[in-house]
Amino acid sequence: MQVVDILSPLRVAVSRNGADPVRTKQDVLKRLSDLLSRGEPSLDAGAIERMLLRREEQQSTGVGGGVAIPHAAIEELDHIVGAVLLCPDPVGFDAIDGLPVSIFFAVIGPRRAVGEHLKTLARVSRLLRDDHFRKSLVEAPNGPAAFDLIAREEGRPP
């Protein structure tokens, strides 16, 4: 499994703080929930948002280095779905290193898929561990361009 397998160009977005700004944790989770529900008609964005928020209330998923991996188990799902929101203006997210977050990689999946969930977290971490890649990703002009960057990065030999 690769990270691109759980994404789609439709579920990758760059936030430009124009008409619909993303400035708070709530804004981020709402936008991610909207992205996650795209192409998944069985999913209700409001329900996803509540589950993501509940998880953040337990402990922030801000893993440091300007990255957060919001995630939740969703009963209706039978597969893992991912979405990416890039915020060139980083958002405070109570991350472990205290730094604001510019790369949000959300993951939802079935409750029972413990092993798959861990593999997904490992793949996302492998993708985002490189400083230069993170910088270029945040500079992507739009969602489809960011999706292409991710696909290209994953295609490189380690």
Partner 1 sequence: MTTGAGRAGADGQVAEGTFQIINERGLHARAATKLVQLAGRFPCEVVIASPEAEGVNAKSVMGVLLLCGAKGTIVTVQARGERAQSCVDAIGELIANKFGEPE
Rounded to whole angstroms, the Cα distance separating 59 from 83 reads 20
**Residue pair 49/29 in contact by the 8 Å Cβ criterion:** yes
Cα four-point dihedral sign 20, 24, 27, 33? positive
Site string for partner 1, 83-112 (x = CB under 8 A): -------------x----------------
Query: Can you tell me which of 79, 118, 142, 152 binds partner 1, judged by CB under 8 A?
Result: 118
**Binding-residue total with partner 1 (CB under 8 A):** 22
CA-derived radius of gyration, the chain: 14
Nearer to partner 1, 17 or 125 (CB): 125
Is 58 near partner 1 (CB under 8 A)? yes
> What number of CA atoms fall less than 13 Å from residue 79's CA on the CB side?
10
Phi, psi of 30 (to 5 degrees): -65, -45
Nearer to partner 1, 119 or 152 (CB): 119
Options 1-9, 46-54, 61-69, 82-90: segment touching partner 1 (CB under 8 A): 61-69
Query: Can you tell me which of 69, 91, 103, 106 binds partner 1, judged by CB under 8 A?
Result: 69
Site string for partner 1, 2-41 (x = CB under 8 A): ----------------------------------------
Nearer to partner 1, 13 or 127 (CB): 127
In the chain, the DSSP E strands lie at 12-14, 62-64, 67-68, 71-73, 81-91, 101-109
Which residue's structure tokens are 């919001």? 70
**Residue pair 92/60 in contact by the 8 Å Cβ criterion:** no
Contact set with partner 1 (CB under 8 A)? 58-59, 61, 63-65, 67, 69, 71, 96, 114-115, 117-119, 121-122, 124-126, 128-129
